[in-house]
Amino acid sequence: MTRRTLTLFALLALVALLAGACVGGTEVGVSPTPHPPLEPAHPGADPFSLLSWLFTPIFQALFIGLVLLDNLTGDIGIAILLLTLVIRVLLISPYRKQLVSQRRTQLLAPEVAEIQRRYKGDRTRIAEAQRDLYKSRGVNPLSGCLPTLLQFFVLIPMYTVIQNGLTNPDPTAMLAVFGFKFDIACVNGLGTSAYDNMKPCIDTVVPWIGNLDVSQPWAPIALAGIGISPLAIGSALLQVIQTRMTIKPGVAAGADANAAAAQNQSLIILPFISVLYGGILPAGLFIYWIASTVFSIVQQFLILGYGGLFPLFGWTPAFAVEHAPRFPVAMPEPVSVSEGGSDAPQSRTDLERAASAAATIRTDKKRDRQGRRRGR
């Protein structure tokens, strides 16, 4: 098992632990009888209580938004879809920056490969040359991490909102923010004589998906004693499509091949984990994740096109052969001074970029030799 795989499983374990700590006084999947009121978490001595307290504002924002949309539409399934749409619209700009940064890194692959060939075995020089190359092109490979982290911090509270928030009979404490209280219409008759602390305040059944309860796992398929969810299968297939679309078409040897190998690992690991957790996680979380993945695919299609989605099992449809993205990413070239003294950007091919990298490396070596002579 590779270090990448171990890290992934560790992150998943962290997600499970944090999800259970998002709301103080309740445990994941286990509710006392009768249900205690849903209240904001408070920082405690243990680290999980502190993390729970830190996640509470995000939980409150998601919970209030979901409750308001549920009151507006009268359907918790549609409310989850609309909340997902709002979240992804807010993340359009950072996710676009991630895609642009990733694409520009792919465009620099020939120059990176030339640097690795020239400085083979010298990791320090390779790292320095790559850093200078990215800086000269205005590319930051780490800038694409922010949207992933943002989605990670949304996914954890969203799990608790669906698992605990929707099933709690008295969530009024979570609806007060900065002294302002959101009023909700509770189907359980909260505040009336008909109030029952054994029934959830919000109707969690989605009639257009066969009366699916979004607060509970849905795994109608049994395979080797493991519950399989159709929603989890759909989520896994969409993850495969999304990941393949981020791979550069016609991956060549070198840096691109290494990146593709890492992405190919995620093509297997992430969908497998999604299917495995289908019988454990609430169905509403998969509705959120499917809608979010579809939004990502659309945004990737507009910026990257089909990417490495085709060929698929050796088949490439005619409409994908000459397809160009609606908003293609161009590599910003370094500004050079021409003989006339004016600055002009240069448009170059991959071979010209590689030649430029080789010239830069020769200049660095010459500078090193001159420095050694002066030091004698």
Average pLDDT taken over every residue of the chain: 75
Measure the CA–CA gap between 356 and 112, rounded to whole angstroms.
Answer: 11
Helices 123-137 and 109-118: crossing angle in degrees, nearest 10, is: 150
Q: Using a pLDDT cut of 90, give the percent of the chain over it.
A: 19
In the block, tokens 């499983």 appear at 9
Q: What are phi and psi of 335, to 5 degrees?
A: -80, 125
pTM of the model: 0.75
Whether the per-residue pLDDT at 319 is higher than 70: the answer is: yes
- Residue indicated by tokens 């679309």: 245
Counting runs of H as helices and runs of E as strands, what totals does the chain give?
12, 8
pLDDT tens-digit series, residues 146-192: 777 777 788 888 888 888 888 887 777 787 776 777 777 676 666 66
77: pLDDT strictly greater than 90: yes
pLDDT for 355 equals 54
106 vs 118: CA distance, rounded Å: 19
Distance from CA of residue 346 to its chain's centroid? 35
**pLDDT band at 250, cuts 50/70/90?**
low
Q: How far is residue 310's CA from residue 94's CA, in Å, rounded to a whole number?
A: 26
Higher pLDDT, 308 or 39: 308
Cα-based distances in Å from 19 to 11, 24, 47, 98? 12, 11, 13, 26
Query: What tokens were used for 68?
Result: 């308001």
Q: Which residues contact 46 (CB under 8 A, 6 or more apart)?
A: none
Give SS3 for 307: coil
Closest C-alpha to 229, from 217, 239, 237: 217
What's the confidence (pLDDT) of residue 268? Answer: 75
Which whole number is the average pLDDT over 270-275?
Answer: 80
Q: Average the pLDDT over 266-284 and give the result.
A: 82
The tokens of 20 are what?
């259970």
Q: How much is the average pLDDT of 357-365?
A: 55
Give 291 or 342, the one with higher predicted confidence.
291
- C-alpha torsion angle, residues 340, 345, 350, 352 (rounded to 10): 10
Q: Torsion-angle region of residue 246: left (phi > 0), alpha (psi -120 to 50) or beta?
A: alpha
Q: What pairs with residue 315 in β-bridges?
A: 312
